[in-house]
């Protein structure tokens, strides 16, 4: 089974995680279906789930995804063997997505996430986005203080540039970077982020690793992907995930899922061994 280490922590996880956001935002499945998705992920060997306090409908629904995950893991009896990575640094007023990196909000968000997850310490806590209205160092200081207080074990960043990551590393250890990345969005390959993470032993977590809804549509229409799907007897979705896995042993994709069949298919990406020629052909697919 392919595995990935979280940074240089020694913690190892199956190479495909679960992006749990679709289970709690608009159009979310009912509780029984959401539970079935998490259950299928665990049954397939999954042990890394990504969430955030703002994976919900609006500010009145904050923590929905975290509570859902905790309840499912408790029912399955696997709470101790699954790492739930969460985030802070956004708000959801009226359902909008608003960045808020104020230290007071980050501290309150972390405390609320601890309550929602019924945990004493969060294994991986990620700054959801950098707030241009707040000095980045002040946001980092708040997170480091939470770590010193034993509320956070490891720190991660999301939606950051290579320069911002370097700035953070001058201040504290960073275990992971979570950015948008897939076959149709290769910015972090082109700007050096993925190579930099490899060199610094930082886990790179691609979110929307098959491109979200529009990516799914494009995957199904791309002739070269359909050819590879036929060749490997796998879905285009699985081919796209396997391509990411081949790009580095520090890369841990977190495909979203709201259906059992989707997460089962995603987990099987670890079984694919793409040829160098086929990887090169996928590299040549145009972005966006």
Beta-carbon contacts of residue 222 (< 8 Å; ≥ 6 apart): 236, 285
Q: How does DSSP assign 222-280, residue by residue? A: -HHHHHHHHHHTS-HHHHHHHHHHHT-TTB----B-SSHHHHHHHHGGGG----HHHHH
Report the percent of the chain where pLDDT is more than 90.
Answer: 94
Q: What percent of the chain has pLDDT over 70?
A: 99
pTM: 0.97
What pLDDT is stored for residue 221 in this prediction? 87
Residue 57 pLDDT > 90, yes or no?
Answer: yes
- pLDDT at position 220: 83
- Answer whether residue 285 shows pLDDT above 70: yes
- Within 8 A by CB and 6+ apart from 277, the residues are none
Confidence at 212, pLDDT banded by 50, 70, 90: confident
Residue 245 has pLDDT above 70, yes or no: yes
pLDDT at 248: 97
- What would the mean pLDDT of 258-265 be, rounded to a whole number? 97
The set of catalytic residues is: 55
What local confidence, expressed as pLDDT, does residue 9 receive? 97
Confidence of residue 1 (pLDDT cuts 50, 70, 90): low
Pick among 3.40.50.1100, 3.30.460.80, 3.20.20.100, 3.40.50.720: CATH of 3-283:
3.20.20.100
pLDDT of 216 > 80? The answer is no
pLDDT digits (tens, 9 = 90+) for 104-160: 999 999 999 999 999 999 999 999 999 999 999 999 999 999 999 999 999 999 999
Q: What is the pLDDT of residue 213?
A: 67
| Predicted pLDDT of residue 211 | 86
Mean of per-residue pLDDT scores for the chain: 96
β-strands 122-127, 98-99: how paired? unpaired
């Amino acid at each position: 089974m392919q595995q990935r280490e979280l940074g240089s922590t020694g913690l190892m996880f199956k190479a495909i995680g679960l992006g749990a956001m679709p289970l709690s935002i608009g159009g979310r499945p009912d509780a029984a279906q959401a539970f079935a998705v998490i259950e299928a992920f665990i049954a397939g060997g999954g042990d890394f789930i990504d969430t955030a306090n703002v994976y919900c409908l609006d500010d009145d629904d904050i923590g929905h995804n975290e509570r859902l995950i905790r309840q499912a893991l408790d029912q399955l009896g696997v709470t101790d063997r699954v790492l739930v990575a969460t985030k802070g640094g956004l708000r959801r007023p009226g359902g909008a997505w608003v960045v808020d990196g104020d230290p007071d909000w980050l501290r309150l968000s972390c405390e609320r996430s601890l309550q929602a997850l019924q945990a004493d310490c969060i294994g991986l806590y990620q700054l959801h986005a950098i707030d241009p209205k707040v000095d980045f160092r002040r946001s980092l200081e708040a997170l480091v203080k939470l770590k010193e207080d034993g509320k956070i074990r490891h720190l991660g960043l999301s939606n950051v540039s290579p320069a911002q990551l370097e700035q953070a590393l001058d201040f504290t250890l960073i275990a992971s970077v979570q950015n948008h990345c897939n076959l149709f969005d290769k910015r972090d390959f082109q700007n050096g982020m993925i190579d930099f993470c490899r060199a610094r032993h930082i886990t790179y977590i691609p979110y929307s690793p098959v491109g979200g809804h529009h990516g799914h549509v494009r995957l199904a229409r791309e002739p070269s992907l359909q050819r590879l799907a036929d060749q490997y007897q796998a879905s285009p979705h699985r081919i796209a995930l396997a391509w990411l896995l081949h790009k580095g042993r520090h890369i841990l994709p977190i495909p979203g899922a709201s259906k059992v069949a989707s997460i089962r298919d995603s987990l099987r990406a670890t079984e694919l061994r793409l040829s160098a020629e086929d990887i090169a052909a996928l590299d040549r697919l145009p972005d966006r």
